[in-house]
Structure 1
Amino acid sequence: MVEEARAHLFIKGRVQGVFYRSFTRDLAHSFGLKGWARNLRDGRVEVVFEGEKGNIDMAVKKCFIGPPGSKVIDIEIKWDTFTGDQEGFSIRY
């Protein structure tokens, strides 16, 4: 049985102005995940991934690497119950 989950990430480092949100959208598409990403005023990027837990785990590992030009210092992850309320993956402004 596939375990579905929801992960709420707060990504700290040089993650704005380096296409990090687009990077997370591409990860979501690659791993069949849904959710969203947005920049926060404090310089972090906030991301929600929803889908198969194993796929979320793989996407989170890639988030630590990030796109060229980024430098991830830390990722805070809060695991939540899968809701199934996400349609695709969007970049929020």
Structure 2
Amino acid sequence: MPGHSRLHALVDGSVQGVGFRMFVLDHAQALGLTGWVRNTYDGRVEIVAEGPRPELERLLDKLRQGPRSAFVTEVQKDWGPATGEIKGFNVRPTV
């Protein structure tokens, strides 16, 4: 999609078992983004999201905050061009 970007983020901290994936899902859908969120076996949350850069930046701000019961220590991020391959936004199984 022209003008769209892809955000790949890994969130570290106390981010599993605290509603973080649903938090991401709700905010991503509200921002009109496509992509997915999942837990990783090493205790992080991984996010891939595509859409307009300003909305992705808003999601990134939310990732840094997290839900009330989470404690975010670090957000690693990479930017790239959107692929347009993902439809909707969903929660994927843990890897």
Helix, strand or coil at the partner of 1:85:
coil
Q: TM-score normalized by structure 1?
A: 0.95
**2:75 corresponds to which letter in structure 1?**
I
Over the aligned positions, Cα root-mean-square deviation in angstroms equals: 1.0
Q: TM-score normalized by structure 2?
A: 0.93
**Aligned residue number for residue 48 of structure 1:** 48
How far apart are residue 3 of structure 1 and its match? 2.6
Unmatched tracts of structure 1, length 5 or more: none
- Measured in 1, the distance between the counterparts of 2:62 and 2:89 equals 17
Aligned residue pairs, count: 92
- Measured in 2, the distance between the counterparts of 1:62 and 1:40 equals 19
1:67-82 to structure 2, matched below 5 A, reads 67-82=67-82
Taking every aligned residue pair, what percent have the same amino acid on both sides?
38
**Aligned residue number for residue 60 of structure 1:** 60
1:25 aligns with 2:38: no
**Aligned residue number for residue 89 of structure 1:** 89
